[in-house]
Structure 1
Amino acid sequence: MTYSEAIDYLYAQLPVFHRIGAKAIKPGLDNVIKLCAYLGNPQQQFKTIHVGGTNGKGSSSHLLAAVLQSAGYKTGLYTSPHLKSFTERIRINGSPMPDDEVAEFVVRHKAFIEDLKPSFFEVTVGMAFDYFARQNVDIAVIEVGLGGRLDSTNIITPLVSLITNIGWDHSDVLGETLQKIAFEKAGIIKPGVPVVISEFDAETYPVFSDRAVECGSELIVGSEWYSATDLGVEGEGRKIVLTSKNGADFRVTLGLLGSYQLKNIAGVLAVLKILARPGFYSDRPDSPAFWISETDVLTGLAHVVTLTGLQGRWQILQHNPTVICDTGHNEPGIRNVMESLQTVAYAQLHLVVGFVKDKDLSKVIRLFPKQARYYFCEPTIPRALDAEILAEEFHTYGLEGDVFNDVNQALEAALALAKPEDCILVTGSTYVVAELNQLGA
């Protein structure tokens, strides 16, 4: 079986969330527990960091992995969804899982998969854990897929958990209030395991506090340990001044250019601080479990894109005109994107936009600017929201534009009209960004 055949088999045999939405979810952890038991419980054979939240969990996961790589640790990274290739989901020191390893896993375990009938996501989680264990990683950063409490990744006992933030997304699955969504996210908090929340929010903090008390877990609010001052983009990085709770200032360059990354950085640094504590998960009380120097932190933060292969987060694809893509796809994500847009100088704004069906557009469209030229498109997946319907939805808010079959046609039209001093932003769905030809392989 070739790699392509293996991927086609998984897509054909198993329910896939990015194609059909919530119908792909298999409630509960029974399947992934059975799958990992069959694989020899690989998730117990390496250390982990668990990262959840509504927005920022992917960026935070990549930042953590980049710093750990810079510190010399063999670092696994599991994220979802992928943009171009399935193997992006499973990386070691930034290198995607080899194609032949994917094919071999499917061939070796095909009979068990067909008997168990897990979801696509459950299989990918098992595949990642198996690969990391066989490759003897020192530590792996594991991003939650959806929610937390019942997410397939939630069979690990990490060294530390990170929850980036809580916002409106997947309310049809996670709950119709922020407190209910926070409850699901808080499900990754494990007994005795420290948990970091990147941002304080008065509405959801009690949910995390109650869960932490119940589990006997230390609860840290990253934004109380570190505050960030944005100095703007200079060259290929965003310059930031970080102030620790003891008043010390230090400057960092962040390789992720979106201004919204300032909301993620405090949580990332707090997790790293916990990992480097003397005696933390170490045989020697006077020795840190992880040796992470200031140089390691600065290197990892500045070079995260090249170290881990992250794409699609406020990524500048070209200049004159400026073309930016961002995978913001829900209310808090689009809000962050629009805040970052305020830091960009341009004459005319062109917005290439596409969404999937299960988003509450009434919360999202009002965040888009009226002074822009719109190009509506749709990703080529069954969950795609028809571009004509999307245009009608935007029309009700006084936002007008043309309709295109796909994102590349829409971008080509925008480039034809844009002047060198203009800005073109592509956003609305991870799957729209994923189909950009300019993004590369």
Structure 2
Amino acid sequence: MDYAQTVEYLFNKLPMYSRIGAAAYRKDLTNTWQLTDAIGNPERKFKSIHIAGTNGKGSTSHMLAAVFQEAGYKTGLYTSPHLKDFRERIRINGEMIREEFVVDFVKRIRGVSEQMDPSFFEITVVMAFDYFVQQKVDIAIIEVGLGGRLDSTNIITPELSVITNIGFDHMNMLGNTLAAIAFEKAGIIKKGIPVVIGETHPETSPIFSQRAHEEEAPIRFADQQRYVTDWKYQRHSLVAEVATSPLADDVTFYTLDLAGIYQAKNLVTVLEAIHVMTGKGWKLDQKTVLRALARVKKLTGLHGRWELVHEHPDVVLDVAHNEDGIRQVLRQVELSDHEELHVVLGLVKDKDIDGVLSLLPRNAHYYFTRARIPRALPEAELAAQANAIGLQGRSYPTVTEALAEAKAHARPRDLVVVCGSVFVVAEA
């Protein structure tokens, strides 16, 4: 098979969560262990940071990768899902995995994999680990796919575990309470390995503390160590003022090329992770951190986080797809200088549709659509549910048509936001 045929094989022959949802989720690590055993256990041969969380884990992963890369370390980065190109999932120093490696890996592992029926995600994780070993990375930043305890990435023993936050998402697989979801995320906490928790919460913090105690893992809550005392949103950047206590006079200004104000929370988590890793001997000085955070997108290729892609009218893409994410986007909308708001919205069937729709403003113009995946909620159904609670708009069969209509109806000082699904943003 050539590269195009290989990727088609991965997408179509293997169960893929983005296409079919929960049916692709493997609730144990058996396949992953068997696959890595077959190729020499690459998971044991590179250093890593493991990152879980409901929201923010992708941005946090990219920020940390940027810092290590800027510090001169050969840095692997594994994230999911991709927006346009499968190879976005696996990068080294911002460069996507080589096509020839993808072809060779699938060829090598196909005989073993077809005996056990692994998922797309399981194959992809093992491919990433094998690539990082072959390329001799100094460290790899590994983003959890879903949950943590049973996620395929959870076969690594990292230098540091990070859990950004806990919110309601994937409840059909992770549980219907914050405590149940936190239990699954806490599954990445390993024996003796330090863990950074991004946000303190009365329902989830005891679960993390208990798990850390059981595993004798040093635990630090990032928001108890640092505080964003002020911030300034600019069109293409966010300037955050960070102190080590609410009364501290000694503050540091960080300029992020990730302009979403929700990145202030992720910044605090990243800074605490850097503090822990510096204590373990990694050379990550302050000047390097400042340079890296100012150009994360350029260094690592991150897209879709309050990303301004068009002006007059402003068109912003954001991968927010659950209630917490949508709340953060709406907070950003309120702070944006615009006249009328236009929202291009597409959701997938297994989200809390009513919960997301109930948050959206009634005075916006809506363009309901769907991504080209089986999990997508049909645009007519989405429009009907939204219209029933007072959100006015029409449905469009493709993201391209919906976005074109929004841009055609928006005036130069209006704002168009595309959100609701990673896959909608990918097509936009």
- Report TM bin, short chain: over 0.9
Equivalent position of 1:381 in the other structure: 373
Matched residue of 2:153: which SS?
coil
Matching residue's letter, 1:267: T
Q: How does 1:69-88 map to 2 (within 5 A)?
A: 69-88=69-88
Following superposition, the deviation at residue 342 of structure 1 comes to 1.6
User: Is 1:321 the counterpart of 2:323 in the alignment?
Assistant: no
Following superposition, the deviation at residue 299 of structure 1 comes to 1.1
| 1:70-118 residue CA offsets vs partner (Å, 9 max, x unmatched) | 1000000000000001000000000010112111111122111111221
Q: How does 1:87-236 map to 2 (within 5 A)?
A: 87-234=87-234, 236=236
Moved over 3 A (4+): none
Equivalent position of 1:283 in the other structure: none
Matched residue of 2:262: which SS?
helix
Distance in 2 (alpha carbons) for counterparts of 1:303 and 1:317? 17
Matching residue's letter, 2:189: I
Equivalent position of 2:269 in the other structure: 267
The alignment covers a number of residue pairs equal to 426
2:395 to 403, 406, 411: 403
Q: Answer whether contact 1:230 1:259 (CA < 8 A) is retained.
A: no
Matching residue's letter, 2:272: A
Equivalent position of 1:439 in the other structure: none
| 1:196-234 residue CA offsets vs partner (Å, 9 max, x unmatched) | 111111111111011011111111010111111343233
Distance in 2 (alpha carbons) for counterparts of 1:252 and 1:263? 13
User: Is 1:15 the counterpart of 2:20 in the alignment?
Assistant: no
Matching residue's letter, 2:273: V
Matching residue's letter, 2:141: V
Distance in 2 (alpha carbons) for counterparts of 1:167 and 1:158? 24
Equivalent position of 1:285 in the other structure: none
Q: Answer whether contact 1:257 1:314 (CA < 8 A) is retained.
A: yes
Q: What TM-score results when the alignment is normalised by the length of structure 1? A: 0.95
- Please give the root-mean-square deviation of Cα atoms over the aligned residues, in Å: 1.0
Matched residue of 1:327: which SS?
coil
Distance in 1 (alpha carbons) for counterparts of 2:202 and 2:109? 46
Following superposition, the deviation at residue 343 of structure 1 comes to 1.5
Q: Answer whether contact 2:236 2:308 (CA < 8 A) is retained.
A: no
Structure 2: stretches of 5+ with no match in the other structure: none
Distance in 1 (alpha carbons) for counterparts of 2:73 and 2:358? 44
Matching residue's letter, 1:270: E
Equivalent position of 2:336 in the other structure: 344
Following superposition, the deviation at residue 367 of structure 1 comes to 1.1
1:292 to 284, 290, 313: 284
Distance in 2 (alpha carbons) for counterparts of 1:94 and 1:367? 36
Matching residue's letter, 2:263: Q
Matched residue of 2:114: which SS?
helix
Equivalent position of 1:240 in the other structure: 240
Equivalent position of 2:31 in the other structure: 31
Structure 1: stretches of 5+ with no match in the other structure: 281-288, 437-441
Distance in 2 (alpha carbons) for counterparts of 1:255 and 1:38? 41
Q: Answer whether contact 1:52 1:143 (CA < 8 A) is retained.
A: yes
User: Is 1:307 the counterpart of 2:299 in the alignment?
Assistant: yes
User: Is 1:425 the counterpart of 2:417 in the alignment?
Assistant: yes
Matched residue of 1:342: which SS?
helix
Following superposition, the deviation at residue 235 of structure 1 comes to 5.7
Following superposition, the deviation at residue 274 of structure 1 comes to 0.4
Following superposition, the deviation at residue 318 of structure 1 comes to 1.1
Q: What TM-score results when the alignment is normalised by the length of structure 2? A: 0.98
Equivalent position of 2:253 in the other structure: 251
- Sequence identity of aligned pairs in percent? 49
Matching residue's letter, 1:381: I
| 1:264-292 residue CA offsets vs partner (Å, 9 max, x unmatched) | 11111101000001xx2xxxxxxxx2111
Matched residue of 1:117: which SS?
coil
| 1:396-425 residue CA offsets vs partner (Å, 9 max, x unmatched) | 211110110111101100111111000000
